[in-house]
Amino acid sequence: MAEIGQILGGRYRLIELLGQGGMATIYRATDTGLSRDVALKLLRPEYLRDPDFSSRFRHEAQAAASLSHPNVVTVHEVGLHEGYVFLAMEFVQGITLKQLVQGKGALPLEVGLRIAKQTCAGLTAAHEQGVVHRDVKPQNIILTPTSEVKIMDFGIARPLNVQGVTATGLVIGTPQYMSPEQAQGKQDVDERSDIYSTGVVFYEMFTGVLPFRADTPLAIAMKHVQEEPVPPRSVLATLPEPLDAVILRCLKKDRAHRYQKMVDLHADLVKLSARRA
């Protein structure tokens, strides 16, 4: 592990540890060249010799660096320093959507719609660049003090049409939010999987609960494959019927029956908001 105070890439001085994930560690760092704080993501050294993990990290860097949108965390630089592969990203202050829901439960309708529209706008921009996030969840959605949404951690994203990033049958994603096709380890994951995961996020955001719960990750994954969700309005009767329909369309098991494009989901949310204005 890198040490606090260490300078990577000749310019990034590590300030504090922000978190550790399955394949990377994230620090707050100071870009000494531009006098700004950044989030510095380091691939864990034990994975550097593993071609699968290294390949996935490189794809993250390439995917994220291609995106430029107000609702997507900006990637400034990808580099290598003394055996460390790092990703220097925009440092965003705020809380995650997961933290907000855990603290407040179901969000007020207007607040949720504002977050939902921005989330869809950011993911639409990614999809238009040919990038599928593949791990959309509220932990990866940051809310700034000015109520702006920032989507982060395209850690398992890959360009559409690029094959071979993962071994056959390897399940990628977070069980509570993964699409049925991800839960089954299918390789032809596309933007409709992001739409499903976004639907799970919206379900939780507007009702305060997840559509599928179980004691083990495998049991949760199988519910995504086999069980129909309880309609959101059955959990919270005050939700408008059109919103209930939007969320349930996102959560169709057969992806041919979901929204086919994130931009269409975004358009329906805009219409729903306009009707309430």
Q: Which residues contact 67 (CB under 8 A, 6 or more apart)?
A: 74, 75, 125, 126, 129, 131, 154
Contact 150, 72 (CB under 8 A): yes
Q: CA nearest 262: which of 195, 209, 175, 168? A: 195
121 forms beta bridges with: none
Is 135 one of the annotated active-site residues of the chain?
yes
Contact 123, 198 (CB under 8 A): yes
Tokens of 90: 């925009």
Alpha helices in the chain (DSSP H): 51-65, 97-104, 109-128, 180-183, 191-207, 217-226, 232-235, 241-250, 262-276
Q: Which residues contact 33 (CB under 8 A, 6 or more apart)?
A: 11
Contact 89, 37 (CB under 8 A): no
Integer CA distances (angstroms), 74 to 10, 60, 61, 89, 186, in order: 20, 12, 11, 6, 29
Residues in the chain: 277
Catalytic residue among 31, 37, 52, 135: 135
Q: Which residues contact 160 (CB under 8 A, 6 or more apart)?
A: 130, 131, 132, 190, 191
Q: What angle do CA 260, 264, 270 make, to 5 degrees?
A: 155
User: Which residues are designated catalytic?
Assistant: 135
